[in-house]
Amino acid sequence: VGVSKEQAAQNRRDIIATANRLFRERGVTAVGLSELMQAAGFTQGGFYNHFESKDALVTEVVGAAMGEGKSEFVAAFSKATHDEPGGLARYNEHYLSKEHRDDIQGGCPVAGFAGIAPQLTECAQSNFVSGLDDLITLIAGLIVRDPAYDAGQCARSLRQQAIDHYCKLLGALMLSRATARSSPQLADEILESVELSL
């Protein structure tokens, strides 16, 4: 068939991007390689030109999703707000928005994979952990620049506060997603009941 090296690399990225969407939406196990390749615009046989196995793909998908998530975070909340203080509030608002809740295919990759992370391969889970660690650090960066942050009250480290803060965001998002289809009312109520303080 014949395809340039750049085109092949792009196709590889397309497969990963498609898998990222499908895996988050329906679960890794529920998505077959045949369906995946078809959704990405190829026939199923080509899969093994790019990946050694389905497990290897999953590992790459998690790694890529975490990397993209980090880049997007930096662009939207760290870089953009480097000289202005409202980054944390904007992140909170975005994270707990209905748009983010309804965008399971996209959005925060930690929230997208946390539910199945216990069942991931060691390698894939390791990519998850690296991305999570980066996110914690980035959130700590937002906290320290927040006007409400009081460096004096430091019984807890900045990192502890970042973890604490993120746990609540994650819990609310996952719970809202978990209930969205059966009870949209409860799903919305969850997002609205969470209070983010420093």
- Site residues (vs DNA, CB under 7 A): 1-8, 11-12, 31-35, 42-50, 53-55
CB of 158 to a copy of itself, least distance (A): 11
Least CB distance from residue 67 to a copy of itself, whole Å? 17
Contact 187, 179 (CB under 8 A): yes
Whichever of 9 and 154 has its CB closer to DNA, that residue is 9
167/174 Cα distance (integer angstroms): 10
Q: Which does 186 bind (CB under 5 to 8 A by kind): DNA, a copy of itself, none?
A: a copy of itself
Which is nearer to DNA, 6 or 195 (by Cβ)?
6
Angle between helices 122-144 and 158-179 (to 10 degrees): 120
Nearer to a copy of itself, 23 or 81 (CB): 23
* C-alpha span between 8 and 198 (Å, rounded): 48
Contacts to a copy of itself by CB under 8 A: 26-27, 29-30, 104, 110, 113-119, 122, 125-126, 128-129, 132-133, 156, 159-161, 163-164, 166-172, 174-175, 177-183, 186, 189-190, 192-195
Of the two residues 10 and 119, which places its CB atom closer to a copy of itself in the complex?
Answer: 119
Q: Angle between the 33-40 and 5-26 helix axes, to the nearest 10 degrees?
A: 120
How many angstroms separate the most distant Cα atoms in the chain?
A: 65
Least Å distance, CB 18 to a copy of itself, is 18
**Distance, CA of 109 to CA of 181 (rounded, Å):** 21
Q: What is the CA radius of gyration of the chain?
A: 19
State the minimum distance, in angstroms, from the CB of residue 174 to DNA. 24
Quick one: how far is CA 94 from the chain centroid?
Answer: 13
Closest CB to DNA among 35 and 188?
A: 35
Min dist. Cβ of residue 105 to DNA (A): 18
Here the tokens at position 74 are 């930096």
Spatial distance between the Cα atoms of 147 and 85, rounded to a whole number of angstroms = 6
Which CB, 120 or 172, lies closer to DNA? 120
Out of a copy of itself, DNA, none, what residue 177 binds, judged by CB under 5 to 8 A for its kind, is a copy of itself
